[in-house]
Structure 1
Amino acid sequence: MESSLFESRLELVARERSGHTAVVEGDLLYVWGGYMSLDDDEVFLPSDEFWVYDLVQGAWQVFHMTGEVPPSMSGSCSCSLNGHMYIFGGCDDNGQTNQIYRVKLSGDHYAWTKVVHRVGSAPSPRDKLSCWVHKGRIIYFGGYGHKLVAEVDRRNRSFIVDDISEGVMWGWNNEVHMFDPTQSSWGQPQTHGRAPAPRAAQACAMLGNRGYICGGRVKETRKNDIHCLDLDSWMWSEIVPVSSVPVGRSWHSLTAASDSSLFLFGGLSVDCKPMSDGWVFDVETKTWGEVEHPFKNKPRLWHTACPGKDSDVIVFGGSCDYILLVDTGHCNDALVFQMAPYPLFRICEDYIAKNAREYDALRKQLPLLPPKLCASVRRRMSFYRPSKKQHTQVF
């Protein structure tokens, strides 16, 4: 009975989705929210579902969440901080929101808590924004949302108007807001230098004390610029590459690949084509270089990309088609990009796990390993089960 339950759990597969949010903590990928196609319509996924993927075993589990459950949304911004996943903003059936929620990423029960700030003012409602984590605080940038007409200073180019209706303006912004969970406080730091133009659906990543953003959309333009914000001095600077650059895009991802490099993947191009190209940007030499990989036939946009162990980048979900089309091709597979040579221990563990089922002599020697190592190898063997539907692809 126990074995049967274990087998069926390994066969569980997360729902297809785009516009979701995800974080990696340890060996686990946590996925929440987004939307999918159902009967020729686009529907938000249940907000009380929490999908957890074991990156070692290649196994999914789904949990029913309790507590102060947020509304079902897409376009929320998430991060991992002090063992919690925080989400902010997003778009639900009533439009953009500016609420913040958190859930503790441990145990076998997950409960949402709505975070109520005691100090400062929350940013205006928005979605498709970015965030960084620095010194225990969450720093948010940009996004698309709405403000009251009286709140918008037309002389200040921090908000570009897209539409106006009944005293409300919708548009793109380049604001920087900071949330301190320990103080439950919002603040808006005074930045210096030339800020990036307002935008949404940009990609962001963190290296050291600097937050980077790349591309994004404002009006009908999709950008390919790259900027960084020093999160100690609050100084903006644009990085001008000295090499050829990727084409402009939105709904792509940018992930730290090393201490000095960023990995860009996919997105929607200026001419609204889904892309599958991968690029590495070296922040020290200011050069872009295109990366060859086996996922060229898997375009992705509005997916998530998270840094994993050993410099892996885990891309999950997203759309393989233009998402403004009804019944678009949402995805539920995980693509693992290997951005650096693996340590010898991981190479050996993977080799044993992959071949132990095929070679009797190797399998029979497993009990001779130290107990902790033996358990680790057996756990990894689940990833290579021949009968399991392989929804993880590794480069």
Structure 2
Amino acid sequence: MKWIFVNKYQKFRCNQSVMDSAFELVAPSSARERSGHTAVVEDNLLYVWGGYMSVGDDEVFLPNDEIWVYDLEQGQWKVFHMPGEAPPPMSGTCGCSLDGHMYIFGGCDDNGQTNQIYCFNLTDGKYTWRKRIHEVGSSPSPRDKLSCWVYKRRIIYFGGYGHKLLTDVDSRNRSFIVDEVSSVEGIFWGWNNEVHVFDPVHSSWSQPQTHGRAPAPRAAHASATFGHRGYICGGRVMETRTNDIHCLDLESWTWSEIAPVSSSPVGRSWHTLTAVSDNTFFLFGGLSIDCKPMSDGWLFDVETKKWREVEHPFKTKPRLWHSASQGTNSDVIVFGGSCDYILLVDTGHCNDALVFQTQPYPLFRICVDYIAKNVRNSEVLRNQLPFLPPKLLTAVQRRMCFYRNSKKQTY
């Protein structure tokens, strides 16, 4: 595996970009540091929204009307204004990409957890917010720190921490566990293991009847999707943090637990899980059972049920409540998060991007990377550059820009 570290103090000199737009505000060197944000990748662009940072002794939500966009080919950040029906500034929302749109649901704002859903088009360059009003069904109760899977053009949400009215809490139903220290005036906070489905085409909410033994209610867990199966791993379950793995068949709505046959990562929350092949996901970071920020990386094969820890040079860069997105060629792009236990310190928010190579690259990318890395120090390559085929020349020029903009570490 290889890793590329994109430093927050980098400067940019590239003039060309596929992101030129009337909505551009500035051309900053890097997105603001943050935790609890959401991020997705679409067409080699990483989109980052929301979250919060620390200013002095205060926790400040990031602006709700700006989207930060990182060009993964050129290594360049830009920020754009977002008009429309914007959600409130929030952290802990659940974000995903579907049909060229970014959807966010839930999260926590100045008034507590929410249960609204918003979206905007990632492809038209306007980034206009739209609040989705459901026409069928009932929305889930307010919550944050949940996860989701995308399957058959629907978004399937699981778990989270939030609140319900006393009349909605059934002590016989273990889908919601009350946090004993957080109830007031007929409102109870707690963890849930509910499954809710949002269909954007029909603007509908539904709650399927699941079968099998469901995972314990939890929040700050991680999830990934393989085909018609959704997986969750770890998270906070009441007063502990787990390392269990559960699978939900998204056709039959049947839960099953996976028992690894190898050594496993320690229990944790606020970590990430990213699919990197048809049967492998990548786990990174999080907060351990003993409240230690983690910097370890693991690969799990769902067929062999084996974990394998991955050695990497970022052991001194722990991350929790960060984001992780799949890029091209099975790269995993980790952005932001905290390097401290945020419930105690809350000062170590980051704006670094870590790009993990988890699979061998195709020959075309290997050639492009080699030329882009070496052309400045090779007179032969510089002289031959104009004779490259147009597609290859464009790719090389964009990759040259990336390496000028990035501090590289290759292992």
Aligned ranges for residues 98-137 of structure 1 at < 5 Å?
98-137=115-154
Does residue 186 (structure 1) correspond to residue 200 (structure 2)? The answer is no
Distance 2:403 2:26 in 1: 15
- Residue 192 (structure 2) pairs with residue 173 (structure 1): yes
Q: In structure 2, what is the Cα distance between the partners aligned to 1:9 and 1:188?
A: 43
Provide the TM-score with structure 2 as the length reference.
0.92
Task: Name the aligned partner's letter for residue 185 of structure 2.
Answer: E
Distance in 2 between residues matched to 1:394 and 1:360, nearest whole Å: 23
Cα RMSD for the two superposed structures: 1.6
Question: What's the offset of the Cα at 1:74?
Answer: 0.1
**Tell me, what secondary structure is at the counterpart of 2:123?**
coil
Superposed displacement of residue 145, structure 1: 0.1
**2:340 counterpart residue number:** 321
Match of 2:4 in 1: none
Superposed CA offset, 1:56-91 (max 9, x none): 101001001000011000000011000000000000
Q: Secondary structure at the match of 1:265?
A: strand
**Partners of 2:314 and 2:27 in 1: how far apart?**
24
Ranges in structure 2 where 5+ consecutive residues have no aligned partner = 1-12, 18-24
Please name the residue that 1:288 is paired with.
Answer: 307
DSSP-derived class of the 2:366 partner: helix
Q: What corresponds to 1:338 in structure 2? A: 357
SS of the residue 2:367 aligns to:
helix
**Structural mapping, 1:1-395, within 5 Å:** 12-162=29-179, 163-385=182-404, 388=405, 390=407
Residues 101 and 120, structure 2, Cα contact 8 Å, conserved in 1? yes
Maintained 8 Å contact 2:340/2:346:
no
Once the two structures are superposed, what CA deviation does each residue of 1:37-58 show, in whole Å capped at 9, x if it has no partner? 1122211000111000000101
Q: Report the 3-state secondary structure (helix = DSSP H, G, I; strand = E; otherwise coil) of the residue aligned with 1:365.
A: helix
Task: For 2:397 and 2:57, locate their aligned partners in 1 and report how far apart those are by CA, in whole Å.
Answer: 43
Bigger shift: residues 351-360 or 274-283 = 351-360
Q: CA deviation at 1:219?
A: 2.0
Report which structure shows greater RCO (CA 8 Å, sep ≥6): 2
Deviations 1:229-254 (A, max 9, x none): 00000000000111111110000001
Query: TM-score, with normalisation over the residues of structure 1?
Result: 0.96
Aligned CA distance change for structure 1 residues 146 and 393 (closer, same or farther; 3 Å)? farther
Which residue identity does 1:350 align to in structure 2? Answer: D
Distance 1:244 1:39 in 2: 41
Which letter does structure 2 place at the counterpart of 1:278?
A: G
Residues 290 and 39 from structure 1, CA distance in 2 versus in 1: closer, same or farther, beyond 3 angstroms? Answer: same
Q: Within 2, Cα distance between the matches of 1:137 and 1:67?
A: 23
CA distance in 1 between partners of 2:359 and 2:127 (Å): 33
Distance 2:393 2:207 in 1: 51
Letter in 2 for 1:37: S
Amino acid at match of 1:236: W
Deviation of the 1:344 alpha carbon: 1.0
Instruction: For residue 307 of structure 2, give the secondary structure of its aligned residue in structure 1.
Output: strand
Which stretches of structure 1, 4 residues or more, deviate above 4 A after TM superposition? 3-11, 392-395
Q: CA deviation at 1:394?
A: 6.1
CA distance in 2, matches of 1:46, 1:11: 15
2:374 and 2:33 map into 1 onto residues whose CA distance is 31
Kept in 1, the 8 Å contact 2:14–2:401? The answer is: no
Report the secondary structure of 2:192's partner residue: strand
Partner of 2:397, secondary structure, is: helix
Deviation track 1:282-340 (CA, whole Å, cap 9, x = no partner) reads 11111111111122111000000111111111110000111113442111011011111
The CA distance in 1 between the partners of 2:153 and 2:378, in whole Å, is 49
Q: Is the 8 A contact 2:326 2:332 kept in 1?
A: yes
Residue 6 of structure 1, CA deviation: 6.1
The more displaced of 107-116 and 222-231 is 107-116
CA gap of 1:287–1:327, structure 2 versus 1, over 3 A, is closer
